[in-house]
Amino acid sequence: MGQDKKVAFYTLGCKLNAYDTEWYREQFAGQGYLEVPFGEPADVTVVNTCTVTGGGDAQSRQALRRAHRISPEGTVVAVGCYAQTDPDALALMPEVDLVVGTAEKTQLLDLVNDTCSLGRTFVTRSRTAEFQDMDIYNFGGRARAFVKLQEGCNEFCSFCIIPFARGKSRSRTVDSTVSQVKRLVDAGYQEVVLTGVHIGDYGTDLDGYELLDVLEAVEVVDGLERFRVSSIEATFITDPMIDFMASSSKFCRHLHIPLQSGDDAILEVMRRPYRRDQYIELVEKLVDKMPDLGVGGDVMVGFPGETEAAFQNTYELIEQHPMVYLHVFPYSPRKGTPAAKMAGQVDPPEKKRRGAELRALGKRKVEAFQRRFLGQTLDVLFENRRADGLLQGLTGNYIRVLSPGSARDQVVAVRLDHIEGDRVIGELIPNPSMQMLV
């Protein structure tokens, strides 16, 4: 069907979208399509959209328009979260030929072939209750591979559109997750990142299983050097999980735990299931158990009703407790979420000011954490080579390291030497003797 046809992909958003696109890639290749980079003319262009912020919608529309400009005779496909939450808006775009929602994404190729043969716009809009096993065999030439083991979310935080886009929480079985990890290890991957929308909720739809079961099963996969979890909600990190992480020889000492706000009144209207003291207690306990742990988190500024005092509560929590990096997001109203209708919307310039203050704080925290490890030998997985010829990679505890050398795609020992800008310059250790930090 796809012989001599060209396909291009453009992916926005999160690790789950990156994983889904990997699966689409392999499906098209399996039908004989030749993949070309986005920007080159193609018979089919798939844009994997994002709607987590207003910016995600705008960038998705931009990519769809660009796809049509590049390939005016080609078929332009919108898939992903924006395609699920607002299919009609996308279907109204003259540039778009096919809109595929979350449920039908595993039939993407058939829908594309139908669209190509029938030559008219298709829109799908149903939901799915089951986890769709989308097995992959590679991860697009990257050094670290993502493994999606959970989809959807049942939490409905008041600012979040994701439950509407990805549906209810559902899990991949432990066996299927382990076989996916094995396939990637067989393909040469030394690190996998376990990912999902809300992986702490893993197993609630599987009788008697929880996230710890997967972590323990992945730990014993032969040939896997190390693994991490992409993000996990505070209230889903249990004591047995912490004990496992602290004793594991492969679990990376890195946790991304969304905070969103450090103010209890704001956490309440966000419908977040914890309060600032619980978050502080958790982070302190984690670092007490694993002193070299790199803890970071998402923080939102400018949520409706956030006063200067509430913002200062967030700032002080981060300043005074062992968070070592931040992902800072300005609140973005999402149609259909309760927060979008709330009073007390914060002015964009004020959001910008608060965001800048938090990013500056985050930068200081990153540097302080980097300084703690100068002179030490840590394991680094080098992911790419920069234009200046230096390899770039990550330690297990999420320190970004640059180094001369040729050890790409491998976990190697690196002595952290000095800081340049926001990166640590390291030196490859040919025959590491000492016990390295995971």
What residues make contact with ligand SF4 under the rule CB under 6 A? 153, 155-157, 160, 162-163, 197-198, 233
Name the minimum Å distance from CB 152 to ligand SF4.
9
Comparing CB distances to ligand SF4, the nearer of 162 and 229 is: 162
Comparing CB distances to ligand SF4, the nearer of 61 and 198 is: 198
What SS3 state is found at 96? coil
Angle between helices 174-186 and 211-219 (to 10 degrees): 30
Name the minimum Å distance from CB 166 to ligand SF4.
8
In the chain the first and final C-alpha atoms are separated, in Å, by: 46
Comparing CB distances to ligand SF4, the nearer of 2 and 200 is: 200
CA angle 331, 337, 342 (to 5 degrees): 65
Whether 140 contacts 103, CB under 8 Å = no
Name the minimum Å distance from CB 136 to ligand SF4.
23
Name the minimum Å distance from CB 85 to ligand SF4.
13
Name the minimum Å distance from CB 338 to ligand SF4.
11
Comparing CB distances to ligand SF4, the nearer of 46 and 50 is: 50
Whether 38 contacts 68, CB under 8 Å = no
Comparing CB distances to ligand SF4, the nearer of 270 and 378 is: 270
Comparing CB distances to ligand SF4, the nearer of 97 and 306 is: 306
Name the minimum Å distance from CB 162 to ligand SF4.
4
Tokens encoding 337: 């979420």
How far is residue 355 from each of residues 280, 299, 326, 330, 378, measured CA to CA in Å?
21, 9, 11, 7, 32
3-class SS shares of the chain: helix, strand, coil, % to 5 = 35, 25, 40
Name the minimum Å distance from CB 163 to ligand SF4.
5
Tokens encoding 312: 């200062």
Whether 264 contacts 293, CB under 8 Å = no
Whether 64 contacts 10, CB under 8 Å = no
Name the minimum Å distance from CB 78 to ligand SF4.
21
Residue 174 and residue 215: Cα distance in Å, rounded?
Answer: 9
| Nearest of 53, 103, 95 to residue 78 by alpha carbon | 95
Whether 240 contacts 429, CB under 8 Å = no
Comparing CB distances to ligand SF4, the nearer of 197 and 380 is: 197
DSSP H helical ranges for 262-379 = 264-269, 276-289, 308-320, 348-372
Reported for 89-97, long-range contacts at CB under 8 A and 24+ positions apart, including other chains, are 90/49, 90/61, 90/64, 90/123, 91/121, 91/123, 93/61, 93/64, 93/65, 94/68, 95/64, 95/65, 95/67, 95/68, 95/69, 96/64, 96/68, 96/121, 97/121, 97/122
Comparing CB distances to ligand SF4, the nearer of 33 and 329 is: 329
Length of the chain: 438
Name the minimum Å distance from CB 332 to ligand SF4.
12
Name the minimum Å distance from CB 251 to ligand SF4.
22
Comparing CB distances to ligand SF4, the nearer of 111 and 153 is: 153
Tokens encoding 212: 């710890």
Name the minimum Å distance from CB 185 to ligand SF4.
29
Comparing CB distances to ligand SF4, the nearer of 71 and 260 is: 260
Residue 30 and residue 25: Cα distance in Å, rounded?
Answer: 8
Residue 293 and residue 139: Cα distance in Å, rounded?
Answer: 27
Tokens encoding 215: 């972590």
Comparing CB distances to ligand SF4, the nearer of 273 and 404 is: 273
